[in-house]
A and B are shown apart, each in its own frame.
Chain A
Amino acid sequence: NAGVTQTPKFQVLKTGQSMTLQCAQDMNHNSMYWYRQDPGMGLRLIYYSASEGTTDKGEVPNGYNVSRLNKREFSLRLESAAPSQTSVYFCASSGGQPLDEQYFGPGTRLTVT
């Protein structure tokens, strides 16, 4: 039981390049989330998927797109990376009810030069 897995662990991009961050969970959770974490700013929600087939914007969606490929997988795409997107990206999943805890993946450390 791996929980939440993310690939890659580290990535360096040049401005304007695109990439997709992958996330998968094996806990049969309904809801999945993408967060970014910048120093001193806590976690900010980028996009979330309350259930398979649905996605919604979070606090900071600009410059990102997501795909809920199936119940297990939720990917985050940067179409044209910018230095302001340098951050640590965390994927999380939960059962989907208000009191369900969220389980986080190990994170992807992205640097855009």
Chain B
Amino acid sequence: GQSLEQPSEVTAVEGAIVQINCTYQTSGFYGLSWYQQHDGGAPTFLSYNALDGLEETGRFSSFLSRSDSYGYLLLQELQMKDSASYFCAVMFSGGYNKLIFGAGTRLAVHP
């Protein structure tokens, strides 16, 4: 089967840096992606990693280590609008895009 683990809650202050970790156990692993969801809203795509290493997209970066079955999302220069839930999701090989999501990490950014 598949399982993902990520912290349930993280708290940080504006302007700080926060890292949200994700560990996974799965077969047929293709890559790891991250989604953001504000309260009452729909999930929106942030990034993905299919290869080991760091991918940077503006203030957000995502990292993957396939050998450690581990990844993280790094948020820099935190803003109040970054308060949201963040989900890691495992992508599977097999010719189609099927995702299994973690339970999510709720990030609270304080002034």
Contacts and interface: CB of A to CB of B under 8 A. Distances in A.
B70 to A, nearest CB: 18
A95 to B, nearest CB: 7
Contacts, number: 68
B101 A102 contact: no
Interface string B82-111: 000001010111111111111110000000
Contacts of A102: 43, 45, 97, 99
Given A99-B31, A99-B91, A104-B44, A42 B102 contact: yes
A44 interface: yes
B33 interface: yes
A104 B48 CA distance: 16
A95 B45 CA distance: 14
Interface of B: 8, 30-31, 33, 41-45, 48, 50, 87, 89, 91-104
29 contacts: A31-B97, A40-B8, A40-B103, A43-B43, A43-B87, A43-B101, A50-B96, A59-B100, A90-B43, A95-B97, A96-B96, A96-B97, A98-B30, A98-B91, A98-B92, A98-B94, A99-B31, A99-B50, A99-B97, A101-B48, A102-B43, A102-B45, A102-B97, A103-B45, A104-B42, A104-B43, A105-B42, A106-B42, A107-B42
